[in-house]
Amino acid sequence: MEASALGSGRTVRLAELFAAVSLATDLADDSPFESALGDALTSLELARLAGLRGEELTDVYYLAFLYHLGCTAAADSQAKVGGGDDVSSRRWFSEADYTDRGQLLRLAATRVAREWGPIVRAQAVAGLLTAPKGFMADSFAAICEVGARLGERLG
């Protein structure tokens, strides 16, 4: 699948475009270089092991990237729970149980405290305590919406 034509007569495959953009998502998430690409390749291997073939594998590859492309869609709410820093918030809370507000409070209090002082820690805890019920579900919905809209536009 080709994404666009370049002035030199050369075309860029959609896979190449997604791989390049994934490097930017790694920066946005403060993730190690090529993390999103690694997730896409891991997803492909799991799909192969599950017996998927052909076009289904292509879908898996692009869906893995689409998830990462929406990563900053909820930056505002992520910044509130990260003491003003949405990038660190995404990194810190990447493996959290978002249904456990106590765990989220502990993460905000301990992780923010290690990197910043008590004022920012208090802001992060206050952000979690005052966040509306379901704010994480809304964040995930925003991330998914960005991926879905981009997927629609790219066909």
Which tens digits make up the pLDDT trace of 61-80? 888 887 777 777 777 777 76
Distances (CA, A) of 142 to 17, 24, 42, 72, 147: 22, 19, 24, 9, 9
State the Cα angle at 109 between 135 and 94, rounded to 5°: 55
Say whether pLDDT at 23 is over 80: yes
**Across residues 96-124, what is the average pLDDT?**
72
Q: What is the spatial distance between Cα 141 and Cα 144, in angstroms, rounded to a whole number?
A: 5
**Structure pTM?**
0.59
Who wins on pLDDT, 19 or 119? 19
**Across residues 26-39, what is the average pLDDT?**
83
